Structure formats: structure tokens, C-alpha cells
Amino acid sequence: MPSTRIDLLIDKYFQSTCSEEELQELMKWVDASSELELGQKLAGVWKNYKPERVMPEEMSERILNNIFNHQDDETPVEEEYQAVSFWRTKYGMAASVALLIGLSFFGWLQYNVNLKRTENRLVEVKSFQQHDVLPGGDKAVLTLDDGSTVVLDNTANGSLGKQGETDIRKTQSGKVVYEGAQIAVAKPMYNTLTTPKGGQFQVVLADGTKVWLNAASSLRFPTVFTGKERKVEMTGEVYFEVAKNPKMPFKVVTQGQEVEVLGTHFNVMAFQNEKVIKTTLLEGSVKVSNNEKTTILQPGQQSKVGINSNIFRTVNDVNIEEELAWKNGYFQFNDASLEQVMRQIERWYDVDIEYVGKISNEHFTGKLPRNTNLSNVLKILSMSEVDFKIEGKKIIITP
């Protein structure tokens, strides 16, 4: 593969703009490359992204050398190639450089970071990985109108049965689709889709509306939409791409809030352990109301409605990418507090969070893939003045 093509693919990879085909092309090149060739390329990437913008050049050089020269002295030579260390694999080198470039972009390392502390953090990967937690995935339970349940992550693709005149099937892509004529029924049938911590799922409703559920979320909906409106109820965080139907408004009900649309794309975040319900609009318009107030959102705006307070306000020029990062497979933070970060980690990795002592006032800005193990996320966060320890499904945090 021409060097310029490789450089382009690597650049797109680190900017998260690779298509699926380009990513496969890049991975084939990684498989075919020697460690020397890959190391030279990644060293060039490290230089090109200029990590010295957020850390001294000496620190940049020493961290890079750690990646390519690190030896685990405790691992016998004969075992090294049976259970190859994270640091000693080609993918490990790529992941390490990606991780550290992330640190450079995100600003989690500052000029005054102590060099010894940073290097100690890097070698703590072994401790983290001994008690690692896998990322979440496509997991959900479908509760039918009669109360019976279907565990969707354990169910084969194909037909899941019928609810009235509506067919339910699980597609090869893993989502659940409702299909059937929109025929009025005497008694509506309702289904509920629920994701656990560490789960996410997609469903296409009977009217063609596409829905994405984040971890620890639920959606209650009729198996067929009839009458003058299409109403669903939700908890947690859900993204909607509503099928247009001017004659039948689509309504989303959460605790203390209702969103009404005719056909548009929007995200609702309504977790009980957050302070506000956030509704973010991508296109079209939506009407957001609680028991006292109403607002009309335009694209790029977000409403914030207090869960246990009188907050009701509209925010302009919202960072849409940040709000939809979860749907697109990322964690993305913009000056987020440690508690805000850890609430997302708690939901996605299905872990419990315990704070020992005073909670750090550290704030974090950056973007990380959600398909990475918990240890990789904690490695980055531990570059700050915060200590983490994994004990089973518990993360213990000390300042």
C-alpha cells in the first residue's frame, strides 16, 4: 500500500473519520506490517500531532520511548509470546499512541504534570488490566403486552412473534423491528424495551420511527399507532428519528416533561441521577413542556428542565456531537466534572462508584471510544490528580 495512502488512513483513524471500509483497509495493513514498520509510522504520528502542546517536549519523548521499549521484567521470556503483553503487541503500540495522542488533544495532561507521576501512571496498566471490565454492548429485554419477556441479546435473529396484527422480528443488524398495518384496535397492546446498565439497543416502531436506547433506559410504546397521536413513555436516554406524520403528532413522555413533534430528530436524556432533563434538537422543531411552561426548540438548541427543581431554560448553540456521542460510540466531555464522567462510566460498564474522601474538583474535556475496556478509560483519567482502583464491579476513587 502506498505510504501516502497509509498516512491518510492513519490520520483519519485518529480523527475518528474512517469509514468502515477504510478501517478494514487500515487493519489489513497493520496485520501485514512488521513491528518495526508500524513503530516508525506511529512515532511519526506522535510527532505530527505535536503532543508538546500540552506537555513538555522531554516528557513527550520519554513517554513515546516507554511505549516502544517497555519490558515487563516479571514476565519470563518463554511466556512472552504465549500471552503477549499489551505493550509488546502491534495493536498495543497503536492503542498506546492513540491513547496518548488523546491525552494531548484532550488536555488531560497539563504543563505542570509531574513527569514521574505520569510515567508511573503509564505502567499501572498491568494493575488495571488484572481487574478489567469489558465495555457494554447490545443488550435489552423486551416485555410483551401479556407480561412475558424476551432477552434480546440471547435471541436468534428472525421472527419474535406477533402482537395483535403486528409482526416483531430481530434483524441481522441486531435491532428489533415492528411491522404491520396501522389498523385501529379495540384495546391497544403495549410493549416495553429495557436496557440494563452496560446495554444499548435499537428498535424501529410500527410507524417507521427509529429509536436508540442508551444504557439503563426504557421505552414503553404501542405495537400499533392509531388515533390522533403517537405517544411513548421513556426513562434514561433515548434518541429518536421520528417518521413524519403531520396528522398524528409524536409525543415522548418522561417524568415531569412532554416532548411533541411531527417528525424530526432529537435526543432526550432523563436519568434520575442527573439534575435536569435535557432535550436536544437536531432538525425540525419540537415543543417541550412541563406542568407550567412550554418552549419551542429550533435545531441546535437544547431545553433543560429540572427534575427536582424549577429549572426551565433553553440553551443555544449546543455541541450536538457531544450530546450524541453515546449513540455514535463515544464518550465525549466538555469541562465535565469527575462525578459527571463517572455517572456515564457507571452506566456503560455496569459498575458501582465509591468515593473515598473529598471528591476531586478535576474537570475533563475529550473524546474516547465506548468500545474500549474500562482499564483504558481509567488510565486516561488517572493522569489527573485522581486515583482509581477496581475491585470486582466497584471503582474506588480517592483524590
Can you give the pLDDT at residue 111? 32
Please, what is the average pLDDT of the chain?
79
Can you give the pLDDT at residue 80? 30
**Residue 11 pLDDT more than 90?**
no
pLDDT tens per residue, range 163-203: 988 999 999 999 999 998 777 677 889 999 999 999 999 99
> For cell 419477556, what's the residue?
149
The half-sphere exposure of 17 on its side-chain side, counting CA atoms within 13 A, is 6
Q: Report the range out of 11-25, 106-120, 140-154, 360-374 with the highest average pLDDT.
A: 140-154
Retrieve residue 36's grid coordinates. 518495526
pLDDT tens per residue, range 47-86: 565 444 444 455 455 545 554 454 344 433 333 323 223 3
* Percent of all residues in the chain with a pLDDT value above 70, rounded to a whole number: 71
d(CA 177, CA 168): 6
Can you give the pLDDT at residue 244? 93
> Which is more confident, 3 or 339?
339
Whether the Cβ atoms of residue 349 and residue 391 lie closer than 8 Å to each other: no
Per-domain residue ranges for the chain? 33-123, 134-201+220-227, 228-328, 330-398
Q: 313: pLDDT confidence band, cut at 50, 70 and 90?
A: very high
Can you give the pLDDT at residue 53? 42
The half-sphere exposure of 119 on its side-chain side, counting CA atoms within 13 A, is 13
Lowest model confidence (mean pLDDT) among 1-5, 285-289, 296-300, 331-335: 1-5
**Largest pairwise CA distance in the chain:** 74
Q: Which amino acid is at 287?
A: K
pLDDT tens per residue, range 51-60: 444 444 554 5
Q: Report the range out of 78-82, 108-112, 179-183, 337-341 with the highest average pLDDT.
A: 337-341
d(CA 191, CA 160): 13
**Average of pLDDT values for 96-123?**
42
Can you give the pLDDT at residue 2? 64
Q: Where are the beta strands (DSSP E) in 195-285?
A: 199-204, 210-213, 218-222, 230-241, 250-254, 257-261, 265-270, 276-283
Report the length, in residues, of the chain. Answer: 399
Can you give the pLDDT at residue 375? 83
**Residue 335 pLDDT more than 60?**
yes
Q: In 3D, which of 342, 346, 349, 338 has the Cα closest to residue 371?
A: 349
Can you give the pLDDT at residue 309? 85
Q: 102: pLDDT confidence band, cut at 50, 70 and 90?
A: very low
Q: In 3D, which of 95, 53, 101, 8 has the Cα closest to residue 376?
A: 95
**Average of pLDDT values for 123-142?**
75
CA angle 168, 350, 24 (to 5 degrees): 70
Q: Does domain 330-398 have CATH number 3.55.50.30?
A: yes
**Residue 318 pLDDT more than 90?**
yes
Whether the Cβ atoms of residue 157 and residue 172 lie closer than 8 Å to each other: yes
Q: Which amino acid is at 228?
A: K
**What is the radius of gyration, based on Cα positions, of the chain?**
24
**Average of pLDDT values for 20-43?**
69
Architecture of domain 228-328: Sandwich (2.60)
Can you give the pLDDT at residue 35? 57
| pTM exceeds 0.85 for this model | no
Q: Which residues pair with 138 in a beta bridge?
A: 200
**Residue 107 pLDDT more than 60?**
no
pLDDT tens per residue, range 247-299: 999 999 998 899 999 889 999 999 999 999 999 999 999 999 998 899 999 99
